[in-house]
Structure 1
Amino acid sequence: YDDRWRRMSVGEFLKRRLIRLQPMVVIGALIGAAMFYTQGCSVWDVSKVTVAALLAATLMNALMIPATPGVEIRGVGEMYPLNGPSWSLFFEYIGNLLYAFLLRRLPTRALAAWVALAGCGLAAFALWGPYGDICVGFALTGDNIVGGSLRLLFAFSAGLLLSRVFRPVAVRGAFWIGGLAIVAAAAVPRIGGSEHLWMNGLYDAFCAIVLFPLIVYIGASGRTTDRLTARLCKFLGDISYPLYMVHYPFIYLYYAWVKNEGLTFAQSLPGAAALVAGSVLLAYLCLKLYDEPVRRLLTRRFLPTRR
């Protein structure tokens, strides 16, 4: 996409990105608001939240206005307490502004230097930061803003660089290699404990800076060989963003259910399976009945027709 985006004006590029991202931000906020009063538990007391406060939080979430700790209505410090994953869209919007005004104008060598510096910064935060990981960015606190910005500066820019220099290689079973590598990486428990935070930080840095870009490269080099595989890959790609933006209100509900009922891991498994299946179904329905029609409407209304 980089070659096409670089030919666009700043205004057209930003309109296209906003049309692509914003509809699901809105529906995610509305789903989170609709479910909020069903998610009460000892960790957050939703019964004390007024309807007016919930409506204000819904509007802020839908407009991507972050809430500060101590003000956000769930009480756990999230920028977007109705739909937690919106925090990453906050940084992605900043990334799109950086791309529109700066990154797309950088020559490839300068972009590579930018990526290297961002990678060093991210590794330093993982190794010597306060947490021994890079699970940050979701709150308006100093550590979260620094860590979230470093995650953005590396990942966004590395993806852009990869798109410029990508040369596919022959990889058999790229889908399975990439899928199994992600499962294996995610299955590794936290390393080192509280006395050796750097050990887990090193693993996180390796995954984010080396392993995950390599998985993307392998996946991009793969080729579908039959119609069924092509349709499956298209389906997974189509629902990836809607699924990301609608599943988390159900995580809050699931957490409250487990907490309130005092369930064991085994007892909670049926609920977990239902959460996964229901989230995939809801994401697909949102995609077909809401996201795609709204984006087509906004595209016709706000973007020029190319001849």
Structure 2
Amino acid sequence: MNQSSLSTKSHYPILDGLRGVAAIIVVTFHLTEPLGTGHLDILVNHGYLAVDFFFLLSGFVIGYAYDDRWQKMSVGTFLKRRIERLQPMVILGMTLGAVGFYFTDSTIWPLIHTVPLWKMLLVMLIGYTILPIPLSLDIRGWQEMHPLNSVGWSLFFEYIANILYAIGIRKLSKTALTILVLISAVALAHLAITSPNGDVSGGWTLNMEQLRIGFTRTMYPFFAGLLLSRVTKATRIKYAFLYCSLLLAIVLYMPRIGGAENLWMNGVYESICIIIIFPLIVYLGTSGTTQTQREYKICKFLGDISYPLYLVHYPIVYFYVAWISNHQGMTLAQAWPYALLILIVSILLAYISLKWYDEPLRRWLKNRRSSKTQ
């Protein structure tokens, strides 16, 4: 997902910026989620669709970056580069989750203070690999693949998509890839429209039902992004970052469609968003250029912090969720100053993590790999 490595190709700073906008919306979703009574009345109701947008962006960037490199690159080299890009922040995110685990005191997590230290450390070490834990190691009680940092589930599926691309799907012709994407789109729409909640939310539990959701949410957007990278012929669009950001925000902040009586309507909405609107946003993003140096710097900053923000915010959100649960009846008017503070702290922590940890470690790993190949 890092385009800074594409030294010989034109850069898409607007896509970087949009990834940052989506990451911030994810944080606002997680901050408003505990204030709702269920999936129908969360203020940022479709914020979880940002994950599907991330998958689409990732597929596009992977195709753009690597499709023409396979004559000189092995599958092992590709996977090493992806590990170098993704794993440092995974390790930091899981470590932060472990550090804060015993301090999130709340009745919604009665298991926490009964969990022995060795078990928590085992979960952390498994989390470092991004492999999902079995339900027998669910130390929080939410049936998460990664109970120390919930967002790890999407990185698990990101790796699966990268592996599928590397070992075979990269070889598909445009026609074959189009057929795969169309089949995946039908599967996604079927999931969204027929799901018990009328949405695609899910994928973070290691059982068959949730694995189906995770794979379905990954297959269409990631490989639609790959297809888009192969067929896109960008035009010139002014103010693309502004228009795309507004469209993305409207889509993700849209209230629930249809209500409890017509759940399928929300499924239709989410299908349209993922299958049509998200590719359109990415296409528009590739068609635009930053208008000023300031806009370029904003896009670069948002792109730089997007991945660290995604990995570091949830360990902080756990404290916020515990606080909300310990103060039943908390309203948005009462909670928003604390939510805003957590958003700001999360962005600062993401930037610090980027500059003091992620970038230096990735440079070291890259130099170490380069020295071995010389």
When the two structures are superposed, what TM-score results if normalisation uses the length of structure 1? 0.96
CA deviation string 1:174-212 (max 9, x = no partner)? 111111111211222222233422111111111111111
Tell me the residue number matched to 1:283.
350
Q: 1:92 aligns with which of 158, 166, 175?
A: 158
Tell me the residue number matched to 1:40.
105
Deviation at 1:265, TM superposition (A): 1.4
Tell me the residue number matched to 1:237.
303
Deviation at 1:302, TM superposition (A): 2.6
Tell me the residue number matched to 1:81.
147
Tell me the residue number matched to 1:126.
192
Whether the 8 Å CA contact 2:239–2:290 is kept in 1: the answer is no
- 1:93-242 maps to which residues of 2 (within 5 A)? 93-242=159-308
Deviation at 1:304, TM superposition (A): 6.1
CA deviation string 1:249-307 (max 9, x = no partner)? 11111111111133321111111001111111100111111111111111122346789
Distance in 1 of aligned mates of 2:309 and 2:190: 32
More divergent stretch after superposition (186-195 vs 225-234)? 186-195
CA deviation string 1:37-91 (max 9, x = no partner)? 2212121122222212211111111111212335311101110011111100100
Tell me the residue number matched to 1:269.
336
More divergent stretch after superposition (9-18 vs 182-191)? 182-191
Whether the 8 Å CA contact 1:191–1:200 is kept in 2: the answer is yes
Q: 1:29 aligns with which of 58, 79, 94?
A: 94
Tell me the residue number matched to 1:9.
74
Q: Secondary structure at the match of 2:206?
A: coil
Distance in 1 of aligned mates of 2:286 and 2:104: 39
% identity of equivalent residues: 45
More divergent stretch after superposition (234-243 vs 218-227)? 218-227
More divergent stretch after superposition (253-262 vs 114-123)? 253-262
Tell me the residue number matched to 2:44.
none
Report the residue type matching 2:221 in the other structure.
A
Deviation at 1:151, TM superposition (A): 1.2
Distance in 2 of aligned mates of 1:9 and 1:276: 40
Report the residue type matching 2:117 in the other structure.
V
Distance in 2 of aligned mates of 1:233 and 1:18: 24
Deviation at 1:5, TM superposition (A): 4.1
When the two structures are superposed, what TM-score results if normalisation uses the length of structure 2? 0.79
Distance in 2 of aligned mates of 1:163 and 1:5: 14
CA deviation string 1:157-185 (max 9, x = no partner)? 01111111111122221111111111211
Whether the 8 Å CA contact 1:69–1:76 is kept in 2: the answer is no
In structure 1, runs of 5+ residues without a counterpart are none
Tell me the residue number matched to 1:299.
366
Whether the 8 Å CA contact 1:78–1:138 is kept in 2: the answer is yes
Report the residue type matching 1:50 in the other structure.
P
Report the residue type matching 1:225 in the other structure.
Q
Q: Secondary structure at the match of 2:326?
A: helix
Whether the 8 Å CA contact 1:2–1:160 is kept in 2: the answer is no
